Structure 1
Amino acid sequence: MATFMQLGVQAAQARNVTEAVGWFQRAHQENPADPVARAWLGQCLCSLGRRLEGVDHLVKAGRLLAQAARVSKDTSKVMEVIGQLQGWGAFAPALELARALVEIDGGNPRAHQLLAVTCGQINLTEEALVAVAEALRLAPGHQMLLVLQASLEADAKQFEAAKARLTEVLAKAPGAREAFRAHKEMARVLDGLGEYDAVFAHLEAAAKLAPTLPEFAQQDARIIPEMIRQNEAGFSAELMGRWAGVAFAETPRAPVFIMGFFRSGTTLTQEVLDVHPDVFVADEAGLLWDMQRELHRMDSAPGTVAEKLARLDEAGIGRLRATYWNLARGRYGDVVDRGLFVDKYTMNTIDVGLISTVFPDAKVVFVLRDPRDVCLSCVMQLMNPTPATRHLLTLEDTAAFYAQVMAWWLSVRERLSVEYLEFRYEDAVESFEPTFQRVFAFLGLSWDPKVVEFHERAVGKFIASPSRNQVAQPLYSSSVARWRRYTAELSSASAPLTMFIDAFHYPK
């Protein structure tokens, strides 16, 4: 007869996650001291959107496993739990376990690598550099560790050291993945050193390598453009305003959505708002994506998102709103009901029609930045492969994708039922307080002078953005008009950007 654990594993492998949770809960109740059952339970709960519960189980399982490993010296399952916590963005407890792992298994380079990665993600750069140096002492010449070390050195602005290390990696004919990462990091390093003429050779080399990597090759580049096409056709002013004026009372206030395009300043905006005591920010949580899944469960007939929303009555809209808030509470707890809940997911721009239809009482903060700086920064940044970031490997592809997304914003913004505020990243850099005072007033928030010190809170905090180390610094103006250093490279990609440069009033 199969045990509860065996039944749970079978259900999880069959992707019956709800059923798996039931079996793992029974396994945990039968033997609360079994860390493996608890780890499986935690992972499955996170997969169901019950992240707060799931992470709690993963942390407790990790502690039990670490305690056992002090005797057995088998740290493999501790490493698995650290990886799972990292995957769910729980870097503070991952750090606790990674530090314990190094104490238990200090001769294992993987232990130090996990500590380095964890520290790097929460801007503990000095500790990360110490950890990666120890990993390399134990595994000298390991190419991906060398790339990690160079990346952390670049974060610390130790550009010469990073350049030397990456030069060493690239000289040894690395594998495709190591070479891709090394070229992307080298471009960032050379830009930091002011060696602008050499930057794009590395970006072009990385772009050629990306399609050979499974994580990029499996991304369908047609998904987002098709979503935009469907949204343009389906979201009329009538649909988006259908439920405007209805008194939805499930929370004191509707959410605020921060959006824009990649590398436009949305992370800066979230970090400034997050300082305010009456604000809670959800950072790249993807709550709307999960809410859309509920829409498709509610209406399984063929049709686009807009068509399915048009078929809903008021009770159906209420159910979607309740789903959104239940997802938020499952991820963050009751804190979402206190004060103002801010959902920052940069590419919610694509789903602004959905937002306007389901949350007509919401507010949108839309962050703009010079399109040339946006596209340049996207190409130079190492990002996780997704159907959206698949478009950001070359300047030409990035500019074309930017034009698709921002043309959608320009066409839909005047039809929205939600209130929206646009502001420019450059204005925030040049006139921080007046710019953000306007944002705070729009959101009905009192001005808090402490927001000027937003960068001091970024150390030790996980920020789900490539900008994590940049928002750990005071605002700097060197990121404004950065594109002027690369006018020759931008010339081939500038045509799709011209109308947006004009629309957003940037100098040519």
Structure 2
Amino acid sequence: MARDLKADQEMLRTVASHAQKRDIARAAAIAEQALAEGFEHPLLLNVAAMRLEAEGRFEEAVRLLERAVVLAPGDVPARNALALNLQRVDRPADALRHVEELLKSHPELGFGHANKGNALIALGSLGLARASHLRALELDPGNLAALGALASIATHRGEHSEARRWAEQLLARAPGFPDGVLSLASADLADGATASAEVRLRELLADPRASATDRARAQGLLGDVLDAAGRYAEAFGAYTDCNEALRRIHRRFAAGTSLLAYAHALVKAFAEITPRWTASSVPESQSGGAAGHVLLIGFPRSGTTFLEVVLDGHPRVVSLEEHELLTEGVLRFMQEPLDLEPLARADERELRELRSAYWERVRRGGVDVTGKVFVDKHPLNTLKLPLIARLFPHARILFVCRDPRDVVLSCFRRRFQMNPAMYQMLTLTGAAELYDAVMDFAERARPVLALDWHEVRHESLVADFTGQTRAICEFLGLEWTPEMGAFATRVQGRERATPSIAQLTRG
């Protein structure tokens, strides 16, 4: 049956009018009825998605908005709403793609640059995120999201005076805005004003406007404040409350095979292939032009970031901060169900292609490795050691260790960018089990793979910095330089977000 064009146009005007008046319930009721009758229109899909958002049904909202964007690729509200909801379901890379598409046609949209910045923060790219938020403020000086994000970025980098300035500007415009409160509480903590920080955080936790994510962040920071005040039992309770909230917010990471199960399967698969494992030989031309290649691995919170920043002080060293550079090799050889036989038998032609893909990812990361020692730091690349051994048998391995008790507790206390590995560490038991599995695999793999391996104990590096760094330089074929000790002056400009950055700025 043909639709009545005039009636449809009038209905769309009515839906738009209700939506503009923030009467989402009435707008959505009309939109949902029209959609049920088979009439698809970007406005109707967007309004129906608004109701789903209000109900916390973000995955369903994403599906409606994806359809809206297919119908009308140039529809600004639909694409912007899709990007926002992709952020809410932990898909920041997809959100970034849509925001960038939006900004190609509408570079004047301040909120678009702010949304791009938020996606970049979620991806750990603090420098790029800061630039996006500064651009958002140029276009829209009153953009609250940009002010809050700039405060948060400065906080993460340990630049608390700058964070305080941004936060005070934000709270003058919007009292109680969570990003502002959290940044001020962090600045208070850095200044030793734990009582003031606690008051701010408890007020935020009592604010009914705070989202579940804001409350989780406040609980985690409250744990830090209580710990600094010597109230350890209360601090542990706050960390537990934070992590339980994060488990609910990010429960999608509980689906599928956990990283713990993957690590156990890897141990089994490696044991099966060990009798038939042989090393490969790599032509010198497969170095990407680097004078040396180092894989800096271990486990999160073991001291890998500290060592990377130290090495970055050497004039002959360049590095990338936790980029996934082995993606093609993992997709080819290390997906479930795990069977390492094809990796063990891979011929040189296939390995050469994967090496080229690795060095191309390095190049796209903006690093010129020519004539330099390249450091690829990624703690959980420990679980990719068989792939590393086949692709780069002449690479050097820096394996960082730390007291397991410190590692596990630190993983439990710190707030990471969420992914399956970090989700596993939201409980003490989960963190301990994953640490045990990863270290167990490393111990089994090391003698079989016969890689050039140097173990660095974090506690020893801290206690005897000069002696340990001299030994590391000797292992890497580098002359030692005292500039390596000036890590606190370098760390604030780093692009990637890790929980260690603010700590390292204090030296």
Q: Write the deviation string for residues 11-33 of structure 1: whole angstroms up to 9, x where unpaired.
A: xx99xxxxxxxxx9xx9xxxxxx
Q: Once superposed, what is the RMSD of the aligned Cα atoms?
A: 3.3
- Following superposition, the deviation at residue 230 of structure 1 comes to 3.1
Equivalenced residues, count: 415
Q: Write the deviation string for residues 69-99 of structure 1: whole angstroms up to 9, x where unpaired.
A: xxxxx52222233334445555334434433
Aligned equivalents of 1:221 and 1:379: distance in 2? Answer: 22
Matched with 2:298 is 260
Letter in 1 for 2:319: V
Instruction: Give runs of aligned pairs for residues 366-405 of structure 1, distance below 5 A.
Output: 366-405=399-438
Instruction: Give runs of aligned pairs for residues 93-242 of structure 1, distance below 5 A.
Output: 93-155=128-190, 157-172=192-207, 174-213=210-249, 215-220=250-255, 222-235=257-270, 236-237=273-274, 241-242=278-279
Aligned equivalents of 1:47 and 1:381: distance in 2? Answer: 23
Letter in 2 for 1:209: A
- Following superposition, the deviation at residue 144 of structure 1 comes to 5.0
Mark the structure with the bigger radius of gyration.
2
Label 1:221 to 1:168 Cα distance change in 2 as closer, same or farther (>3 A).
farther
Asked if structure 2 preserves the Cα contact closer than 8 Å seen for 1:357 and 1:417, the reply is: no
Share of identical aligned residues, percent? 28
Aligned equivalents of 1:232 and 1:79: distance in 2? Answer: 44
SS of 1:250's equivalent in the other structure is helix
Asked if structure 2 preserves the Cα contact closer than 8 Å seen for 1:306 and 1:354, the reply is: no
* Bigger shift: residues 254-263 or 76-85: 76-85
Residue from 310, 323, 336 that aligns with 1:272: 310
Asked if structure 2 preserves the Cα contact closer than 8 Å seen for 1:82 and 1:94, the reply is: yes
Residue from 380, 395, 399 that aligns with 1:362: 395
Matched with 2:380 is 347
Structure 1 unaligned segments of length 5 or more: list them.
1-12, 15-23, 28-35, 40-45, 69-73, 475-508
Aligned equivalents of 1:164 and 1:154: distance in 2? Answer: 12
Aligned equivalents of 2:414 and 2:312: distance in 1? Answer: 24
Q: Write the deviation string for residues 188-232 of structure 1: whole angstroms up to 9, x where unpaired.
A: 11112222232111122223323321x244344733223223322
- Following superposition, the deviation at residue 469 of structure 1 comes to 0.7
SS of 1:287's equivalent in the other structure is coil
Asked if structure 2 preserves the Cα contact closer than 8 Å seen for 1:159 and 1:189, the reply is: yes
Letter in 1 for 2:286: E
SS of 2:445's equivalent in the other structure is helix
- Following superposition, the deviation at residue 394 of structure 1 comes to 2.2
Matched with 1:467 is 500
SS of 1:461's equivalent in the other structure is coil
Letter in 2 for 1:336: V
* Bigger shift: residues 105-114 or 262-271: 105-114
Asked if structure 2 preserves the Cα contact closer than 8 Å seen for 1:124 and 1:460, the reply is: no
Q: Write the deviation string for residues 348-405 of structure 1: whole angstroms up to 9, x where unpaired.
A: 1111122112211111111111111111111111112211111212222221221111
- Following superposition, the deviation at residue 121 of structure 1 comes to 4.0
Residue from 451, 454, 469 that aligns with 1:421: 454
Q: Write the deviation string for residues 264-314 of structure 1: whole angstroms up to 9, x where unpaired.
A: 100000000011111111111011234323558xxx9x8635233134111
Letter in 2 for 1:242: A
- Following superposition, the deviation at residue 156 of structure 1 comes to 5.4
Residue from 312, 319, 330 that aligns with 2:353: 319
Aligned equivalents of 1:258 and 1:92: distance in 2? Answer: 23
Matched with 1:496 is none
Structure 2 unaligned segments of length 5 or more: list them.
1-61, 64-72, 75-79, 84-91
- Following superposition, the deviation at residue 175 of structure 1 comes to 4.3
Asked if structure 2 preserves the Cα contact closer than 8 Å seen for 1:265 and 1:369, the reply is: yes
Label 1:391 to 1:97 Cα distance change in 2 as closer, same or farther (>3 A).
closer
Instruction: Give runs of aligned pairs for residues 468-507 of structure 1, distance below 5 A.
Output: 468-474=501-507
Aligned equivalents of 2:339 and 2:325: distance in 1? Answer: 15
Q: Write the deviation string for residues 50-69 of structure 1: whole angstroms up to 9, x where unpaired.
A: x9xx9xx979x69x966x4x
Aligned equivalents of 1:220 and 1:47: distance in 2? Answer: 20
Letter in 2 for 1:262: P
Residue from 330, 339, 356 that aligns with 1:292: 330
SS of 1:361's equivalent in the other structure is coil
Asked if structure 1 preserves the Cα contact closer than 8 Å seen for 2:310 and 2:485, the reply is: yes
Asked if structure 1 preserves the Cα contact closer than 8 Å seen for 2:302 and 2:407, the reply is: yes
- Following superposition, the deviation at residue 181 of structure 1 comes to 1.6
RCO comparison, higher one (Cα < 8 Å, 6+): 1
1:438 and 2:435 correspond: no
- Following superposition, the deviation at residue 239 of structure 1 comes to 5.5
SS of 1:393's equivalent in the other structure is coil
1:282 and 2:320 correspond: yes
- Following superposition, the deviation at residue 150 of structure 1 comes to 2.4
* Bigger shift: residues 97-106 or 252-261: 97-106
Asked if structure 2 preserves the Cα contact closer than 8 Å seen for 1:240 and 1:356, the reply is: no
Label 1:106 to 1:303 Cα distance change in 2 as closer, same or farther (>3 A).
closer
1:250 and 2:289 correspond: no
Label 1:150 to 1:47 Cα distance change in 2 as closer, same or farther (>3 A).
closer
TM-score (normalised: structure 2): 0.74
Aligned equivalents of 1:157 and 1:104: distance in 2? Answer: 37
Asked if structure 2 preserves the Cα contact closer than 8 Å seen for 1:228 and 1:408, the reply is: yes
Q: Write the deviation string for residues 404-436 of structure 1: whole angstroms up to 9, x where unpaired.
A: 111111222221221111121111111111011
Asked if structure 1 preserves the Cα contact closer than 8 Å seen for 2:181 and 2:201, the reply is: yes
Aligned equivalents of 1:81 and 1:306: distance in 2? Answer: 39
Label 1:410 to 1:287 Cα distance change in 2 as closer, same or farther (>3 A).
same
